[in-house]
Structure 1
Amino acid sequence: MRAWELIQMALATIRANPLRTVLTMLGVIIGVSSVITLVAIGQGTSKAIEKQYEGLGTNLLTVNLMGNGRATQLNYDEFMQLEGTAGIQSIAPTMSKNSANVKYDRDEETYNVTGTNDRYLELQKGEMASGRFLAQADLDFRNHVAVIGSDVAKQFFGTEDPLDEELNVNGYMYTVIGVLKSKGSNTSGTSLDSAVLVPLPTMSRDFKLGSIRSAYVEAASGEQVSRVQTVLEAYLTNKFKSTSGWNIFNSSELISTRQSASSSLTNQLVAVAAISLVVGGIGIMNIMLVTVSERTREIGIRKSIGAKRRNILLQFLVEATLISGMGGLIGLLAGVGLALAWPYINPSQETSLSISVGLYAFLFSALVGVIFGLYPANKASKLKPIDALRFD
């Protein structure tokens, strides 16, 4: 019997019971579409992480000091002495005041205020929308000046020009000298858009913050990041006589860790979705067993007029494979559609379609039909003509 004849017979059987066929396909459709959609979401997340780190720079190190007391503190000058040595291009120490009260006229809001130096903007890959950024003179003379993010400017000034206006920051007046361009959240979940940046010495005096808790360190090139990290670790260990109380984050390691975590979660979700394919395969096996039972007399008649066991086996195997393949194709189209529509449903989540994953999911769905259709097909092919003809 030719392949086309087998397909025609299978299609005729499917058309005879359309509702039952659709319900049988449902598990395969859900499984394939879920796999494609979840992989697209996972890959979109990974690409979003890459974009965030590309915007920040892969040759950036973040030093965090977590200890208490003078034995685990560094001042501004101690940090800046490292600049220009051992492959270090620039350093931006920071100190922060979380949820500081910021007022303008009668409007009041809480923002995180950060004290830093003139290198901070370049290290964070930010840009000025208007005005200027902090200068060395602002640090030397402890000027009461501030650079604000786009969200802060919109909150207090709307469409008006905020330059040379004064903000009340926890009771101290700061003159706005610049506004940052909108950038969005960075890899740490913070945002320059909602930033209030002031000279570090001024903030240290006004807010009575004596110690620096973090600093951004930029290596001269990506190849020197590991060397700079080793130098910083040796310096801090020697300075504090301990390997605890501080840590150093490498941007390259962070992106690898976050992508690994995202990939692991995606794989787990895909594994769960793949269970639907197995369930769909069991459904196919069940319906094919029912089909064999319903068509026992047909099988007996075909065998009595010369049909071989191979013909009966292929007939039911092709039918099972066709059902799962059609379900896989519908699931493929549904998965692609859902993946494309997902960013509109959830604008904060990107998706990235993978042709290879879609192809593998479809082929796997067809394989499910072959595997789970084999037993019913084999059972049908083993029926003896005399027994099949006696079946009522």
Structure 2
Amino acid sequence: MNILELVSMALRTITAKPMRTLLTMLGVIIGVASVITLVSIGKGTTAQIEKQYEALGTNLLVVNLLGNGRAQQLDYDELMELELLPEIETIAPTVTKNNSNVKYERESESYNVIGTNDRYFTLMKTEIESGRALAEADVEFRNQVAVIGSEVAETLFGKADPVGQDINIDGSIFTVVGKLAPKGSSIGGTSPDSSVIVPIVTAIRTFKLGQIRNAYIEAPEVDQLAAAQTTITQFLTAKFKSSNGFRISNQDELMNARKEASSSLTNQMISVALISLLVGGIGIMNIMLVTVSERTREIGIRKSIGAQRRHIMMQFLMEAAVISGLGGLLGLLLGIGASLGWPMINPSQPTKLSLEIGLYALLFSVLVGIIFGLYPANKASRLKPIDALRFD
């Protein structure tokens, strides 16, 4: 009996009871579909992270102070003097006040307020849709001005132009001088779309935020990044008398850290999805045992007319493999559909299909069917013809 005959016989057998077969496949379908969908989401997230960091360039450093207290703070003027060095092109220090109450007339919402300077917009590759960005004079003269993100503008002003209007931020009045074009998520986890950006010195004084603890620093060229990192490390070590109170990260380190975190979460979810495949395999074994019991007389007849043990075993193994394979194929199609449809449900979460992973999931589903079909097939092949024919 060749493979095609075995497959044909298996298809006839499992289609005789389609509902039972479909329910048996369900665990495999869910498992394969989940694996494909989760891998697509994971790869889409990774691609999104890479795109965000590539958009900012590869010559950017991020400085974070780790300790607390006045001894672990940066002075704005002292930090900006480093721009005079040839290995440092631009510095944009930042302070952040989370969940500030931003109000315009009767509209009110909570947004993050970022205090920074005019360089921030260039470093973050943000574009001004209307009005202007912050200017160096705004920082120097501590002007009460703000540039708002597209989401903030839509919530507070609707379709109206916000430039020139006054907004209330935690009881302080700021004049809107610019509106940002929509950008999406950023490397810091806070989207400029949902942020209010004000001069850094104004933010520190108005909201009593203390001194600077974070800064973005850009080198003129990628090959000067190492020199810039060395300079900043020496400056901070001398200032704080220690090299343990701060962290300096470059783009590659930040990107790899976020990719590893995303990959770890995806792998955990895939592990859960694989459990569904194993549960599906148990379901297949259970149904195959029932099938062996139902077809005991058939097995006896086949053995009495010359069928050998390996023929019976191959027949039932093929049935288990076909059930799991069809389940895997349906799961593959469902997973592809879910992967393509997910961005329509959640536009902020892109997906990226991996046909290689889909093929592996399909093959794994067939393997699960074969493994869990071994015991029922072996049981069927061991039946004695006389006992099988007497079975009622």
Tell me the residue number matched to 1:248: 248
Counterpart of 1:179 in structure 2 is 179
CA shift for structure 1 position 313: 2.1
Give the drift of 1:79. 0.7
1:93 — aligned with what? 93
2:383 corresponds to: 383
Aligned CA distance change for structure 1 residues 297 and 150 (closer, same or farther; 3 Å): closer
Matching residue of 1:343 = 343
TM-aligned CA deviation for residue 121 of structure 1? 0.7
CA-to-partner distance for each residue in 1:225-263, whole Å, 9 max, x for gaps?
344323322221111102243332333212211211211
The alignment status of 1:237 with 2:237, answered yes or no, reads yes
- What's the counterpart of residue 150 of structure 2? 150
Give, as a single letter, the amino acid of the residue that structure 1 aligns with 2:352: S
Name the residue aligned to 1:302: 302
Query: Over aligned residues, Cα RMSD in angstroms?
Result: 2.7
Superposed, 1:90-239 pairs within 5 Å as 90-100=90-100, 102=102, 104=104, 111-167=111-167, 174-204=174-204, 206=206, 211-239=211-239
Q: Secondary structure at 2:63's aligned position in 1? A: strand
3-state SS in 1 of match to 2:163: coil
Task: For 1:107 and 1:389, locate their aligned partners in 2 and report how far apart those are by CA, in whole Å.
Answer: 82
Rounded to whole Å, the distance in 2 between the matches of 1:23 and 1:209 is: 60
Aligned residue number for residue 260 of structure 1: 260
Q: Say if 1:233 and 1:8 are closer, same or farther in 2 by CA, change over 3 A.
A: same
Q: Structure 1, residues 178-206: CA drift from partner, whole Å, max 9, x if none?
A: 22212233122223223333333444555
Distance in 2 (CA, whole Å) between partners of 1:111 and 1:183 is: 16
| Residues in 2 aligned to 1:81 and 1:231: alpha-carbon distance in whole angstroms | 12
Q: Structure 2: any 5+ residue segments left out of the alignment?
A: none
Provide the residue aligned with 1:20 in structure 2: 20
**Residue 83 (structure 2) pairs with residue 83 (structure 1):** yes
For residues 53-108 of structure 1, the C-alpha deviation after alignment (integer angstroms, 9 at most, x for no partner) is 23344432222335455543332221112125362221012334445555555655
Structure 2 vs 1, CA of residues 233 and 32 (structure 1 numbering), >3 Å: closer, same or farther?
Answer: same
Q: 1:73 corresponds to which residue?
A: 73
The answer as to whether partners of 1:86 and 1:231 remain within 8 angstroms in 2 is no
Secondary structure of the residue aligned to 1:81 is helix
1:62 aligns with 2:84: no
Deviation at 1:159, TM superposition (A): 3.3
Check 1:60–1:383 CA distance in 2 against 1; reply closer, same or farther (3 A cut): same
The CA deviation at 1:271 is 1.5
Sequence identity, in percent? 65
Decide whether aligned partners of structure 1 residues 183 and 324 sit closer, same or farther in structure 2, where only a CA change above 3 A counts. Answer: same
Residue 52 (structure 1) aligns with? 52
Name the stretch that deviates more: 323-332 or 133-142: 133-142
Please tell me whether residue 9 in structure 1 is matched to residue 23 in structure 2: no
**Residues 278-304 of structure 1: per-residue CA shift (max 9 Å, x gap):** 222222222222222322222222222
**TM-score normalised over the length of structure 1:** 0.88
Change (3 A) 1:116 1:346: closer
Note closer, same or farther for the CA distance 1:132–1:316 as it changes in structure 2 (3 Å cut): same
1:306 alignment partner AA: G
Q: Quick check: 1:356 aligned with 2:356? A: yes
Bigger CA drift: 36-45 or 221-230?
221-230
Contact kept? 1:84, 1:90, Cα under 8 Å = no
- The match for 1:278 is 278
Residue identity opposite 1:272 in structure 2: V
Matches of 1:137 and 1:49 in 2, distance apart?
A: 34
- CA distance change for structure 1 residues 3 and 230 in 2, over 3 Å: closer, same or farther? same
CA, structure 1 residues 362+151, in 2 after alignment: closer, same or farther (shift >3 Å)? closer
Moved over 6 A (4+): none
Matches of 1:100 and 1:386, distance apart in 2: 83
Aligned partners of 1:92 and 1:119 also within 8 Å: yes
Match of 2:330 in 1: 330
Task: Return the offset for 1:268.
Answer: 1.6
Structure 1 residues 80 and 315: alpha-carbon distance in aligned structure 2, compared to 1, 3 A threshold: same
1:5 is matched by which residue type in structure 2? E
Deviation at 1:170, TM superposition (A): 5.7
Give, in whole Å, the separation in 2 of the partners of 1:49 and 1:188. Answer: 11
Q: SS state of the match for residue 215, structure 1? A: strand
Which deviates the most, 92-101 or 253-262? Answer: 92-101
Q: Which amino acid aligns with 2:178?
A: G
The CA distance in 1 between the partners of 2:285 and 2:108, in whole Å, is 67
Amino acid at match of 2:327: G
Output the CA distance in 2 between the equivalents of 1:164 and 1:321. Answer: 70
Check 1:378–1:241 CA distance in 2 against 1; reply closer, same or farther (3 A cut): same
Secondary structure at the counterpart of residue 289 of structure 1: helix
Normalised TM-score (structure 2): 0.88
**Deviations for 1:142-169, whole angstroms, at most 9, x for unmatched residues?**
4444333333433444433333444455
After superposition, the Cα gap between the structure-2 partners of 1:174 and 1:327, relative to the gap in structure 1 and judged at 3 Å, is closer
Q: CA deviation at 1:217?
A: 0.7
Deviation at residue 208 of structure 1 after TM alignment = 5.8
Q: Distance in 2 between matches of 1:174 and 1:100?
A: 13
Structure 1, gaps ≥5 residues long:
none
